Amino acid sequence: MSTATLSPTAPTITIEADPKISLRGHIRHTGALIRRNLLWIKQDPESMMDAVLMPVIFTLLFVYVFGGSIGQALGGGQSAYVQYVIPGMVAMMSMNIAQGVGTGFNEDFNKGIMDRFRSLPIGRGSVLVAKISVELVRLLVAVTIQMVVALLVGFDINGHWLGLLAAVGLTALFGSAIMWIFLVLGVTMKNAQSVQAMGFLVMMPLQFGSSIFAPTNSMPGWLESFTKYNPMSGLADASRGLMTGGPIAHGLTVTLAWTIGLTLAMAPVAIRKFTRKA
Min dist CB 130 to another protein, Å, is: 11
The vertex-120 CA angle with 192 and 134, nearest 5°, equals 45
By beta-carbon proximity to another protein, the closer residue of 66 and 117 is: 117
Length of the chain: 278
What is the DSSP secondary structure assignment for residue 81, as one 8-state letter?
H
By beta-carbon proximity to another protein, the closer residue of 2 and 218 is: 2
Query: What's the half-sphere exposure (Cβ side, CA atoms, 13 Å) at 66?
Result: 15
Q: Choose among 87, 57, 83, 82: nearest CA to 232.
A: 87
Query: What's the half-sphere exposure (Cβ side, CA atoms, 13 Å) at 86?
Result: 26
27 binds another protein (CB under 8 A): no
**Residue ranges in 218-277 that form contacts with another protein under rule CB under 8 A:** 277
Instruction: State the angle between helix axes of 161-188 and 78-111 in degrees (0 to 180), rounded to the nearest 10.
Output: 30
- The single residue among 54, 93, 122, 243 that binds another protein, judged by CB under 8 A, is 122
| Site size with another protein, rule: CB under 8 A | 43
Q: Distance between CA 57 and CA 142 in Å, rounded? A: 12
121 binds another protein (CB under 8 A): yes
Dihedral sign from CA coordinates of 30, 54, 240, 199? negative
43 binds another protein (CB under 8 A): yes
By beta-carbon proximity to another protein, the closer residue of 36 and 250 is: 36
* End-to-end alpha carbon distance in the chain: 32
18 binds another protein (CB under 8 A): yes
35 binds another protein (CB under 8 A): yes
Q: Distance between CA 223 and CA 69 in Å, rounded? A: 21
- The single residue among 27, 53, 57, 120 that binds another protein, judged by CB under 8 A, is 120
Stretch that binds another protein, among 20-28, 68-76, 86-94, 239-247 (CB under 8 A): 20-28
**Residue ranges in 89-118 that form contacts with another protein under rule CB under 8 A:** 109, 111-118
46 binds another protein (CB under 8 A): no
By beta-carbon proximity to another protein, the closer residue of 121 and 220 is: 121
Min dist CB 176 to another protein, Å, is: 23
Q: Judge contact between 242 and 74, C-beta under 8 A.
A: no
Q: Which residues bind another protein (CB under 8 A)?
A: 1-4, 6-7, 9-11, 13, 15-19, 21, 25, 28-29, 31-33, 35-36, 39-40, 43-44, 109, 111-122, 277-278
